[in-house]
Structure 1
Amino acid sequence: MRTLMTTSLLLAAVLGGCAAAPVSDAAPPAPEKLKVSVLSTLPHDPAAFTQGLEFSGETLYEGTGLVGKSSMRAGPAGAAPSVRRELPGLFGEGITVLGPTAWQITWQDGVAIERDAKTLAELRRVNYTGEGWGLCHREGTGQLVMSDGSSKLTFRDPVSFAPTGGVEVGRDQLNELECVGDSVYANVWQTDRILRIDAATGRITGEIDASGLLEEAERGSADVLNGIAAVPETDEFLITGKLWPRMFRVKFVPN
Structure 2
Amino acid sequence: MFIMTFLKSSRNIASIVLLSLSAAITGCGEDKPAAEKAPVAETTPASKPVQIIPHQVVATYTHDTSLFTEGFLFHEGKLYESTGSPEEDPELRSVIGTIALPSGVFTRKVEIDKTKYFGEGISFLNGKMYQLTYKNKMGFIYDAKTFAQTGTFNYDNAEGWGLTTDGTQLIMSDGTDALTFIDPATMKPSRQIKVMEAGVPLPYLNELEYINGYIYANVWMTNYIVKINPKDGQVEGRLDLNPVAYDARSKSQRAEVMNGIAFDPASQKVYVTGKMWPKIYEIKFAF
TM-score by length of 2: 0.74
After superposition, what is the alpha-carbon deviation per residue over 1:57-91, rounded to whole angstroms, capped at 9, x for unaligned?
A: 21111110025610111253444234421111310
Distance (Å, rounded) in 1 between the aligned partners of 2:154 and 2:241: 34
Aligned to 1:245: 278
Distance (Å, rounded) in 2 between the aligned partners of 1:80 and 1:198: 34
Aligned to 1:80: 105
The aligned runs of 1:52-67 (5 Å cut-off) are: 52-66=71-85
After superposition, what is the alpha-carbon deviation per residue over 1:205-237, rounded to whole angstroms, capped at 9, x for unaligned?
A: 111101122255325211100000112234421
Match for residue 34 of structure 1 among 46, 53, 62: 53
Aligned to 2:68: 49
After superposition, what is the alpha-carbon deviation per residue over 1:17-44, rounded to whole angstroms, capped at 9, x for unaligned?
A: xxxxxxxxx9543111024311111111
Aligned to 1:154: 180
After superposition, what is the alpha-carbon deviation per residue over 1:85-115, rounded to whole angstroms, capped at 9, x for unaligned?
A: 1111310111101142110000111111011
Letter paired with 1:31: V
CA RMSD, Structure 1 to Structure 2 (Å): 1.9
Is the counterpart of residue 91 in structure 1 residue 95 in structure 2? Answer: no
Contact (CA 8 Å) 2:178, 2:193: kept in 1 or not? yes
Aligned to 1:236: 269
Is the counterpart of residue 227 in structure 1 residue 253 in structure 2? Answer: no
More helix by share: 2
Contact (CA 8 Å) 1:187, 1:194: kept in 2 or not? yes
Distance (Å, rounded) in 1 between the aligned partners of 2:249 and 2:96: 29
SS in 2 for 1:156: strand
Match for residue 138 of structure 2 among 82, 104, 111: 111
194-203 or 215-224, larger mean C-alpha shift: 215-224
SS in 2 for 1:212: helix
Moved over 6 A (4+): none
Identity of aligned residues (%): 35
The aligned runs of 1:116-195 (5 Å cut-off) are: 116-129=143-156, 130-139=158-167, 142-169=168-195, 170-195=201-226
Distance (Å, rounded) in 1 between the aligned partners of 2:100 and 2:127: 18
Aligned to 2:250: 217
Aligned to 1:19: none
103-112 or 67-76, larger mean C-alpha shift: 67-76
SS in 1 for 2:256: coil
Residue 121 of structure 1 and its aligned partner are, at CA, apart by 1.8
Distance (Å, rounded) in 2 between the aligned partners of 1:223 and 1:194: 16
Residue 118 of structure 1 and its aligned partner are, at CA, apart by 2.2
Letter paired with 2:176: S
Distance (Å, rounded) in 2 between the aligned partners of 1:215 and 1:146: 27
Contact (CA 8 Å) 1:83, 1:119: kept in 2 or not? no
Distance (Å, rounded) in 2 between the aligned partners of 1:165 and 1:27: 21
Aligned to 1:70: 94
Distance (Å, rounded) in 1 between the aligned partners of 2:277 and 2:160: 22
Residue 177 of structure 1 and its aligned partner are, at CA, apart by 0.3
Letter paired with 1:225: M
SS in 2 for 1:249: strand
After superposition, what is the alpha-carbon deviation per residue over 1:225-251, rounded to whole angstroms, capped at 9, x for unaligned?
A: 000011223442110000111101111
Letter paired with 2:112: L
Letter paired with 2:105: A
Distance (Å, rounded) in 2 between the aligned partners of 1:105 and 1:81: 20
Larger C-alpha radius of gyration, 1 or 2? 1
Letter paired with 1:150: T
